[in-house]
Amino acid sequence: MTVPTLEADLDASVSEVIAGWERPGDLREHWRTAAGLGWTTILDDLRPDTPDLVDAACGAVTALGRGGFALPLRQTLVARVAGGPSSTVDAILVHPAAQGIWAPIADGSAPAEAGRDFADRPYALVSPTEIPLRLTALSEILRFQEMLGAAQGAVAEARRYVAERVQFGKPLTAIPAVRTMLGQLKVDVRQLETITREARNRLFGGDDALAFALATAREVAATVVPGIAQTAHQLHGAMGVTYEAALHWRTRLLWADCDEGARWGDDGADAVPLDEAALWSLTAPGAC
């Protein structure tokens, strides 16, 4: 699968910056770095003729997810596209399109009823509002990208562990059942990558095709993401849930993002046509 250059560039750049960060670290310090490097303004000039900006945003969000860092980058990107006001350069912005929206407690303005999700992110649910399809789609695509990055990071940690862990003189990867589980993880991650890419390809296309791609992506993600997290922990053993382990930072983000999608409520079933011919036409791949 070909990855656009701008996406790969941002992925590599963000990965390099966060390599030295501690988890969970100082949220405000990390956020000031992200804002100072321009990550929060990637989509400020987004238009239908600038899809490469979506590639760049996806690269940054994926890299953060792969590293297990729950920064509100995707939420702020969506809010800025929607025209949200910004009091400071490093303000954390929210918008109803960002499902289970991040409550901006880091700058002291969070509502008192803000809760915490499984990844310890502050959030506040808001009443449903009429949101343009493409803005909702952008929000969901970035959520899928965050899950994809976290899944890639979780699988890498599990793969590293079973390659290094030796029992009876052999690494765990010598066990056929372990190799089978690793193979299933690879398939699951590829499915998540494929449905996310397809939704991105349709972002500026027809409404029906985009809605159908989002409904499909929701279903696939809800199915494979919990399995990725569970299998990664099964391979990694009890060590994976300890505070120091790198694995659980990724899987907590995976489960939290799945919960976020469930809180959104609409599974997109209404976007699936009952007519066979219409359904067949919506399965054609979107333009790259």
Rounded Cα distance, 282 and 171, in Å: 46
Least confident of 105-114, 145-154, 262-271: 105-114
What residues have CB less than 8 Å from 94, skipping those under 6 apart? 72, 75, 76, 79, 84, 101, 102, 103, 104
Tens-digit pLDDT profile for residues 147-186: 999 999 999 999 999 998 888 888 888 889 999 999 999 9
Rounded Cα distance, 163 and 144, in Å: 28
Burial class (CB in 10 A: 0-12, 13-18, 19+), 183: exposed
Closest among 190, 249, 201, 235 to 22, alpha carbons compared:
249
Rounded Cα distance, 150 and 269, in Å: 26
Taking the whole predicted model, whether its pTM rises above 0.75 is answered as yes
Q: Euclidean distance between the first and final Cα of the chain, in Å?
A: 11
Rounded Cα distance, 84 and 281, in Å: 36
Tens-digit pLDDT profile for residues 191-220: 999 999 999 999 999 888 898 899 899 999
43-46: Cβ within 8 A, 24+ apart? 43/77, 43/80, 43/81, 43/138, 44/80, 44/81, 46/81
Instruction: Report CA Rg, the chain.
Output: 19
C-alpha to C-alpha distances, 255 to 69, 164, 275, nearest whole angstrom: 14, 26, 35
pLDDT confidence tier of residue 4, bands split at 50, 70 and 90: low
